[in-house]
Amino acid sequence: MLWPFTVIGGGAGYAIASIPGAMLGALLGQALDRRLHFQSWAELRERVSGRAVPRDDELIFILLGRLAKSDGRVVDGHIQQARVEMRRLDLSEPAKRRAIQAFNRGKDGRDNLRVHLTRLKTQPHAAEGLLRACWRMAWADGKASRAERELIVQWGKWLGWTAEKVQALSSTEDEQRERAPASSGGEYQEALRLLGVKADAEPAQIKRAYRRLLSRHHPDKVAGTGASQMQVRDATERTRELHNAYAVIKDRRGFR
């Protein structure tokens, strides 16, 4: 990886004092890169352009804004979904204002998103949370367009995911639950979708699915991986949904 100030420092040092100068200049440049969190030339150009580097809870809304605008027009469903995501993240009022600004920033399409997303390649929980939110936004108007799908797949690749793995998230229980139409018995059907089981599944199978998902999304486990506060909040919300879904199914099926 060619860090910008490392290269600049090495080159300047070589010009002044040959090899010893290059070594010293590279060390000083590397320290500056680390302090300013520069990992690529693209990142340096992004900073020079005057656009602030987004926080984790702002980046997600930049992506959502970009998706909402991808077909040329932001509809009410997109706005409502952005509000749903704010509630899911339990944002404070100042954070909500930043989220709205980030959503509008995303609509202009000027951010070099690759710069920001590649930084999250080593944070699988953050990457999955971003991609899930993107699929929910894509389905907010009732359909995921080709442009929206292509964007999400591209972003997934920058996060280190295969196209197949990214597309699979679109049909997981969480996204199905978010866009499932209301109907009689809807709560029970949503609970089945969330746990990824069929209505005729045996109680033991339902329990295994519940425990597997609970272990995967439990906030204590997520926190133990060094996840951000936003990711832990998202895991807490997922855990609450799993508890509720399991309770609904147990009550309907009559098992403990």
Tokens matching residue 179? 């866009």
pLDDT of residue 180: 45
Q: Which residue type is seen at 244?
A: N
CATH classification at residue 218: 1.10.287.110
Residue 71 clears pLDDT 60, i.e. is over it: yes
Are residue 34 and residue 92 in the same domain, yes or no?
Answer: no
Domain termination residue (choose one: 171, 197, 227): 171
Q: Are residues 116 and 90 in the same domain?
A: yes
Structure tokens belonging to residue 149: 């799908």
Per the structure, the complete domain to which residue 35 belongs is given by 4-39
pLDDT at 185 over 60: no
Residues 192 and 93 in one domain: no
Residues 125 and 215 in one domain: no
167 and 67 co-located in one domain: yes
- Answer yes or no: is 51 within a domain: no
Among 171, 189, 211, residue at a domain's last position: 171
Within 10 Å of residue 194's Cβ, how many Cβ atoms?
26
Q: Are 12 and 89 within one domain?
A: no
Q: What is the pLDDT of residue 179?
A: 45
Is residue 155 a part of any domain in this protein? yes
Whether the predicted pLDDT of 32 surpasses 70: no
Distances (CA, A) of 163 to 31, 116, 147, 166, 169: 36, 19, 15, 5, 10
- The answer to whether residues 166 and 135 belong to one domain is yes
Together in a domain, 80 and 186: no
b/e for 48-86, b at 16 or more Cβ within 10 A?
A: eeeeebbebbbbbbbbbbbbbbbeeebeeebeebbeebb
Q: Give 29's pLDDT tier (boundaries 50, 70, 90).
A: low
Instruction: Tell whether 185 and 167 lie within a shared domain.
Output: no
**Does residue 48 lie within any of the structural domains?**
no
Same domain, yes or no: 27 and 70: no
- Which of 171, 199, 221 corresponds to the end of one domain? 171
pLDDT score, position 98: 92
How far apart are the C-alpha atoms of 56 and 42, rounded to whole Å?
A: 19
Whether 226 is in a domain gets the answer: yes
| Domain presence at residue 49 | no
Residues 65 and 155 in one domain: yes
Q: Are residues 100 and 160 in the same domain?
A: yes
Tell me if 46 is assigned to some domain.
no
45 within some domain = no
C-beta atoms surrounding 239 within 10 Å: 19
Q: What pLDDT is stored for residue 253 in this prediction?
A: 80
Q: What is the pTM of this model?
A: 0.55
Domain count, the chain: 3
- Among 205, 217, 204, residue whose Cα is nearest residue 243: 217
